[in-house]
Amino acid sequence: MDFRLKLVVPSDPRFLSIARAAVSGVGAICGLSEESCQGITLAVDEALANIIRHAYKSRYDQEIELDCQVSADRIVFRLLDQGEPPDPARVCGQPLNDVSLSGRGTHLIRAIMDEVCYEQTAGKNVLRLIKKLPGTQVNTAGG
**C-alpha to C-alpha distance for 78 and 4, rounded to whole angstroms:** 11
* β-strand partners of 81: 125
* Rounded average pLDDT over 127-134: 96
128, pLDDT greater than 80: yes
Query: Measured between alpha carbons, how far apart are the two ends of the chain, in Å?
Result: 15
Domains of the chain plus CATH, in order, are: 3-132 (3.30.565.10)
pLDDT tens, position by position, 21-44: 999 999 999 999 999 999 999 999
**C-alpha to C-alpha distance for 108 and 46, rounded to whole angstroms:** 8
In this structure, how many other beta carbons lie within 10 angstroms of the beta carbon of residue 12? 15
Query: Given this model, what pLDDT does residue 76 score?
Result: 98
**Spatial CB neighbours of 18, under 8 Å, sequence gap ≥ 6:** 7, 9
User: Contact at 8 Å (CB) between 9 and 38?
Assistant: no
pLDDT tens, position by position, 94-116: 555 555 555 678 889 999 999 99
Query: Given this model, what pLDDT does residue 135 score?
Result: 74
Of residues 46, 16, 33, 20, the one with CA closest to residue 107? 46
Query: Given this model, what pLDDT does residue 28 score?
Result: 96
- Mean pLDDT for the chain? 88
User: Contact at 8 Å (CB) between 103 and 86?
Assistant: no
For the entire predicted model, the pTM comes to 0.86
